Amino acid sequence: MARKADEPLVLGIETSCDETGVGIVRGHTLLADAVASSVDEHARFGGVVPEVASRAHLEAMVPTIQRALKEAGVTARDLDGIAVTAGPGLAGALLVGVSAAKAFAYALGKPLYGVNHLASHICVDQLEHGALPEPTMALLVSGGHSSLLLAPDITADVRPLGSTIDDAAGEAFDKVARVLDLGFPGGPVIDRWAREGDPDAIKFPRGLTGPRDPVYDFSFSGLKTAVARWIEARRAAGEEVPVADVAASFQEAVVDVLTRKAVRACKDHGVDHLMIGGGVAANTRLRAMAERRCEDAGITLRVPRPKLCTDNGAMVAALGAEMVARGRNASAWDLSADSSLPVTDPHVPGHDHAHGHDHDHVHELSRKNLYDAG
């Protein structure tokens, strides 16, 4: 059956951290979202170990791709393109995904799109709520990022307004959970404990909220330290630590700052939509406070379902499909991973000679060079 030109079928590969994600989308429709997580292998270390993550990606890549194709009910030959996270992320982990995507695209003769991890977190909302408004204001919060971004065009124009100057929100959750002996990852377990606690029990600091502080930047290192010192003081005095109250009060401090700055950014830039993404967007208190504050400010809130907030291949496929639909240039075959790829680069286009219809020609040259080298 013929497909609409604006509904390309794209497979996306995500390996920026500890999740091997493979997603398949047709336009804005999610067909498959296969994920293989190595989180249990990192738990005993209290954080992600890059070498362990890279090895896990190698082992999971082929079966995860096969599972996604089966779930979507399509064959690899049906695809219109292959998208992959080119950065930012862990260098070794990214290289596994990029190498796999290049091999897959090369073997199939399909265009390759190296895309930005953060832009993908924004674009995934199209699978939940339809086309993104332009511009879109996005608050991205995860273990590695806390960013406020303005995206007039998710495929070509993403502007950073603010970011974390130290610990990201998700990183702070992990560190506080470790101090409370709650295990890893910290986000989900603190969220659960916080539901039983009093968010006003302890007045923890709100970083960078003073009149002279950067308006849109974030800082959670001081908050993390304040929580650790509060706990240490209780333990030194031989007093029991009220885990639920600590979790609730800490969580309240984080989501208060995140939502306050995001709503202000929307007002300052005249944007009436706020999209929240990243792993911390699965936090129930963040969702509730953002909903209330956006409603009070007349702002429409868009938050994908929790499974689409954490790292996944569907978000990469979503951005790749948008690249194809808008006729963006494919990446060159010398695409490489960039652990510090700036969010201002939603994707990594090819060289001039590899653009547009010349991509097939480059594919043939690459094949010939490979044979000559062999």
Helices marked H in the chain? 39-43, 50-72, 91-108, 117-123, 126-129, 169-179, 186-194, 221-236, 243-269, 284-297, 306-309, 313-325, 358-373
In one-letter notation, the amino acid at residue 166 is: D
Domain 134-306 fold is Nucleotidyltransferase; domain 5 (3.30.420)
Quote the tokens at residue 264. 């202000």
Q: If you classify domain 9-124+312-373 with CATH, what class do you get?
A: alpha beta
**Nearest to 100, CA basis, from 112, 116, 88, 117:** 112
Please determine whether the domains at 9-124+312-373 and 134-306 fall in the same fold group of CATH.
yes
Binding-site annotation: residue ranges: 117, 121, 140-144, 174, 187, 191, 283, 311
Task: Place 288 in a pLDDT band, splitting at 50, 70 and 90.
Answer: very high
The arithmetic mean of pLDDT across residues 266-276, rounded, is 98
Query: What is the domain partition of the chain in residue ranges?
Result: 9-124+312-373, 134-306
Give first-to-last CA distance, the chain, whole Å. 40
Give per-residue pLDDT as tens, 181-211: 999 889 999 999 999 999 999 999 999 999 9
List all residues 6 or more positions away from 182 whose beta carbon is below 8 Å from its beta carbon: 189, 190, 193, 243, 247
Q: Are 197 and 244 in contact (CB under 8 A)?
A: yes
What is the value of pTM for the model shown? 0.89
Query: What three-state secondary structure class fits 98?
Result: helix
Binding-site annotation: residue ranges for Fe cation: 117, 121, 311
Binding-site annotation: residue ranges for substrate: 140-144, 174, 187, 191, 283
Task: Place 357 in a pLDDT band, splitting at 50, 70 and 90.
Answer: very low
